Amino acid sequence: MAGRTYGGESAADRAARRRRRLMDAGLELFGTVGYTAATVRQLCREARVADRYFYEEFASTEDLLLAVYHECLDRLRDAVVAGVDGADGEIPDIARAGLLAFLTEVRDDPRLARVVWFEVLGVSRRVEQAYLARMAEFADLVAALLADRLPQVATEDVETRVVRLAAIGGVSHVVMTWVDAGFEPAVDRVAAGLQTLLRSIAAGLADA
């Protein structure tokens, strides 16, 4: 009977546990062997669930990739927010705290880095649209975090939005090359360079 409880666990709880295991397996395999090399059978073996359960949770490996990607971006967003919330001082100090939190999260889980900056490239138009949408969300997040101290960053005119997207694109490209170089140089050196970039962009917006 649907919804029956076994061993004190409901059907919904069992489904949630299987989904969590598949998500963890997706991060592990997409972040190590890569998306194109990971099969449903391999994912289910890694997750320790029967193959038939995969399609109860995901329509395809692409759907799992997107779910893992969004969860990785959520982790990065939460790291930035926590870093900024815990920072005091002027805008450069706040920006540095957010950058350090962001870069540390990336460095500490190379699987996340591979999924976010490499495995989502060239998969499909749907995945590309998700990537572009999340980059735009990050640009808006940065603007929202700095809005009280630097209101011009949060302005919604076309030029300012283009600048925000350019800033996020620059940060993303730097991180991508940093990941590819094996996380060298050290986190604080990368954060210092990105801090200089963002300071210059903020100064340009202030002048404008």
Residue-level pLDDT at 8: 65
Angle between helices 91-108 and 125-146 (to 10 degrees): 150
pLDDT the model gives residue 133 = 96
pLDDT grade for 1, boundaries at 50, 70 and 90: very low
- 3-state secondary structure string across 46-101: HHCCCHHHHHHHCCCHHHHHHHHHHHHHHHHHHHHHHHHHCCCCCHHHHHHHHHHH
Give the residue carrying structure tokens 């640009």: 139
pLDDT of residue 5: 62
Does residue 207 carry a pLDDT above 80?
no
| Whole-Å CA distances, 15 to 20, 156, 195 | 9, 42, 44
| Mean pLDDT, the chain, integer | 90
pLDDT score of 11: 87
Residue 88 is predicted with a pLDDT of: 79
Q: What is the pLDDT of residue 42?
A: 98
The pLDDT value given to residue 144: 82
pLDDT band at 164 (very low <50, low <70, confident <90, very high): confident
Residue 2's pLDDT band (boundaries 50, 70, 90)? very low
Residue 56: which residues within 8 A CB-CB, separation 6 or more? 15, 18
Q: In this predicted model, what pLDDT tens digit does every residue of 6-38 receive, in sequence order?
A: 666 788 999 999 999 999 999 999 999 999 999
What pLDDT was estimated at residue 184?
97
pLDDT digits (tens, 9 = 90+) for 148-159: 666 666 677 788
Q: What is the pTM of this model?
A: 0.90
Instruction: Please give the residue that has the higher pLDDT: either 105 or 2.
Output: 105
CA dist 38 and 97 (Å) reads 36
Task: Determine the pLDDT at residue 3.
Answer: 53
- Based on its alpha-carbon atoms, the radius of gyration of the chain, rounded to whole angstroms, reads 20
